[in-house]
Structure 1
Amino acid sequence: MKYTVDGSLCTGHGRCYTLAPDVYLPDDEGYNLRRDDTVEIAPGQEAGARRGARGCPERAIGLDG
């Protein structure tokens, strides 16, 4: 499974990394650190990735897989 954060939609609410800190990381300004990258999710962390994506009010996180 992979995720992508649309940098044009991410506004830095931080819900993704609050809900799933093992999957999503913040940058120094509170945005998702990996905006506009495709990131491989470690085995066993799929549920956290889904939880973080569902918590994003802008729906900026896309999951693949």
Structure 2
Amino acid sequence: MRITIDSNVCIGAGQCALTAPGVFTQDDDGFGALLPGREDGAGDPLVREAARACPVQAITVTDD
């Protein structure tokens, strides 16, 4: 699994960090970010739900 966040689309709603806090966080500016070493989702079953929860669809989850 590979996760990307489009920083040009993200509005900083924080739904990703609330849904899957083991993978997502918010950066110093309040925008969504991946925790270091979690770019592959770290097996968290809530990653896809976090992508669906994003109000602007800034998160892309692809299978390797």
Pairwise TM-score range, normalised by the shorter structure: 0.7 to 0.9
Q: TM-score, normalization: structure 1? A: 0.81
- Higher share of residues assigned strand: 2
Q: Given the alignment of the two structures, is residue 4 of structure 1 paired with residue 4 of structure 2, yes or no?
A: yes
Question: Where does the alignment leave 5 or more consecutive residues of structure 2 unmatched?
Answer: none
Identical pairs, percent: 36
In the TM superposition, what is the alpha-carbon distance from 1:33 to its structure 2 partner? 2.4
Root mean square deviation, CA, Å: 1.1
User: In 2, distance between residues paired with 1:28 and 1:6?
Assistant: 16
Q: Following TM superposition, where does structure 1 have runs of at least 4 consecutive aligned residues deviating by more than 3 angstroms?
A: none
Hey, what does 2:52 align to over in structure 1?
Answer: 54
Question: Where does the alignment leave 5 or more consecutive residues of structure 1 unmatched?
Answer: none
Q: TM-score, normalization: structure 2? A: 0.82
